[in-house]
Structure 1
Amino acid sequence: MKQIFLILIFFSTFTTFAQNKKPNDPLAHTFSIVARDAKTGEMAVAVQSHWFSVGTGVSWGEAGVGVVATQSFTNRSFGIHGLDLLKKGKSPQEVLDILLSNDEGRDFRQVAILDKQGRVATHTGKSCIDYAGHANGKDFSVQANMMLNDKVVPAMKKAWIENSEMPLAERMVAVLQAAQETGGDIRGKQSAALVVFAGEASKEPWNDKLIDLRVDDSENPIKEIDRLLKVFRAYEYMNEGDLYVEKNEMKNAMEAYNAAMEMFPDNLEMQYWTAITLANDKQMEKASEMLQKIYAKDENWRELTRRLPKVGLLNVSEENLKLLLR
């Protein structure tokens, strides 16, 4: 009986030790990239995983400071504390050393840190699941764990180098695509995220996160992130057009709106505001022709047109309003 009791104590102690050694943090076995655009100073994180809502745990950043990706067994505190240490003047390597020194689960972590100067530091713990590894250099770090094969990380590095002429956001997506095409996560695909921060902080911090796209659950999350990025770019043209309208520069406004519509010709929102701009520019026949096609697809747009004169977004005579509403 005494021997059995001692054996039970041993296994209880061993189990407790093992549980303490292995972190209880959320899993995010995945591949990601942290990077900086040397021309604009913008910094970004892009990630994909067979795990729900990967972007909520892996991706961290702040304009004028840096970006962090924390994955495998995700220690989310690395995001907040890492950025805080960067703000205090620590280098990415110093930050990484400090974070890992106080972390009993360091062997299970994978972390990448990049600062606004483009310096990077990366850690792949020895207990990360194969295939796991990273590659980094000036302005970038790519890292992956639980991959189907050992070709994923080299493919990501190659894609980053070969797409240097792309805008940063599109370049990040190209890296994710390369990883997936090479094999990707051994479990498959589920979620992805892309965040881009300004290189320098402004007096309007709410505008310093330039892009924030997430796909939390999808059969093809990278394809969906790519689609959302294209929609984002189209709406950039729409916003540009709105600014020109405010300045009464209708020719420039129409060029911006047309650029948006060329990207998404079936988007009724883009068609509608282009038509309203035509009407405000006294091009009633063109505006009416566009609006009739929009109304045929969704009658609610006709009701919206009735409401615009009240708030000054449609400045036409009563006669012309009837023409637009017919």
Structure 2
Amino acid sequence: MTFTLVAREPATGTLGIVVCSSSPAVASRCARARAGVGVVASQNVTNPALGEYVLDSLAAGSDAAAALKAALAQEQHPGYRQVLVVDSRGNTAAHSGSQSLGVHIHAEGDQAAAGGNLLADEGVIAAMLSGYAGSASTVFEERLLEGLQAALAAGGEQGPVHSAGLLVVEDVSWPVTDLRVDYSDSPVSDLVELWRLWKPQKDDYRIRGIDPTRAPSYGVPGDL
């Protein structure tokens, strides 16, 4: 009941994930990323702790494959888990357990991995990777969103989707983009609209965290 893309931008080392599901609040459970470390999707019958375990392993020096292997070795129910990993060097790893739901598949691309379950058909994941890789945008978030839109256009899930999220980390310790649609009849288009709202303010809020003396004001009463 989820389809997801995780990726690293080769030119900048930026890491990100875009995810969509028929269940509510998918990004809160499935999406994990840490600047300079990696990005992880933990989905299907989700164990959110797997994402943190993989990130801790990556931070300790493991690559994507080793971190995923270690996480699955200590997981009591690996057959129910689907996990996608990209590390800070662009290495990828993926796992779809034997108990993954419905039509399920994962695939690895150039510093990117995608996977899903309860899909309309297996071509959804190929479309997701192709939509991302073939994007003409120079903006990482927009490339991720184009991958998500391509997956939805290819059929997405077997049933209607209701939540989506976009999470990106760059050169600061907090996410520079963390957008979520927790429940909607049109979560992908709503997420795109949220990105359009966030895009012109993204760098300003990064500056606020680094140096408030250079932070712009948005005209809100009591603002800087």
TM-score greater than 0.5 by the shorter chain: yes
Structure 1 letter corresponding to 2:29: G
CA deviation after TM superposition for structure 1 residue 131, in Å: 1.3
Aligned residue for 1:71?
43
**2:107 aligned to which of 135, 140, 159:** 135
Q: What is the aligned counterpart of 1:233 among 193, 196, 199?
A: 199
Would you say 1:103 and 2:75 are equivalent positions? yes
Distance 1:136 1:164 in 2: 20
SS in 1 for 2:160: coil
Structure 2 residue 140 is the aligned partner of structure 1 residue 163: no
SS in structure 2 opposite 1:114?
strand
Give how far 1:151 is off: 1.5
Alpha-carbon deviation of 1:130? 2.6
**Cα offset for 1:238?**
6.8
- Where 1:143 maps in the other structure, the secondary structure is strand
AA at the equivalent of 2:75: D
Secondary structure (helix, strand or coil) at the match of 2:11 reads coil
Q: Which amino acid aligns with 2:2?
A: T
Aligned to 2:24: 52
Q: Structure 2 length normalisation: TM-score?
A: 0.89
Gaps of 5+ in 2: none
Post-superposition offset of 1:148: 1.2
> What is the identity, as a one-letter code, of the residue corresponding to 1:155?
A
The corresponding residue for 1:149 is: 121
- Listed one character per residue, the Cα deviations across residues 176-211 of structure 1 (whole Å, up to 9, x for unaligned) are 11111111111211000111001x4x5xx3xx3110
Residue equivalent to 2:180? 214
Unaligned runs of 5+ in 1: 1-28, 248-252, 254-268, 274-300, 314-326
> What SS does structure 2 have at the residue aligned with 1:98?
helix
Query: Normalised by the size of structure 1, how large is the TM-score?
Result: 0.62
Structure 1 residues 42 and 188: CA distance shift in structure 2, 3 A: same
Q: Which amino acid aligns with 2:181?
A: V
How far apart, CA to CA, are the structure 1 residues paired with 2:202 and 2:109?
A: 31
**Structure with greater helix share of residues:** 1
Task: Pick the structure with greater CA Rg.
Answer: 1
Which amino acid in structure 2 is aligned with residue 225 of structure 1? L
State the shift of 1:123 in Å.
Answer: 0.5
Per-residue deviation at 1:138? 2.7
Cα RMSD for the two superposed structures: 2.5
Identity %: 29
Choose from 21, 24, 33 the match for 1:61.
Answer: 33
Residues 146-197 of structure 1, C-alpha deviations (whole Å, 9 max, x = no match):
0011220111121122115431111111111111111111121100011100
Is 1:41 the counterpart of 2:51 in the alignment? no
SS of the equivalent of 1:177 reads: helix
Separation of aligned partners in 1, 2:113 and 2:85? 8
CA deviation vs aligned residue, 1:56-84 (integer Å, no higher than 9, x gap): 11000111100110000111111111111
Alignment of 1:252-291 (within 5 A): 273=219
* Aligned partner of 1:81 among 28, 53, 60: 53
**Amino acid corresponding to residue 67 of structure 1 in structure 2:** V
Checking the alignment, whether the CA contact within 8 Å between 2:177 and 2:202 is kept in structure 1 is: no
Q: After TM superposition, where is structure 1 displaced by more than 3 Å over at least 4 residues in a row? A: 236-240
Counterpart amino acid of residue 139 in structure 1:
Q
User: 8 Å contact 2:166–2:180 — kept in the other structure?
Assistant: yes
Question: Does structure 1 conserve the Cα–Cα contact (< 8 Å) formed by 2:176 and 2:202?
Answer: no
Question: Structure 2: how far apart are the matches of 1:166 and 1:183?
Answer: 26
The alignment covers a number of residue pairs equal to 219
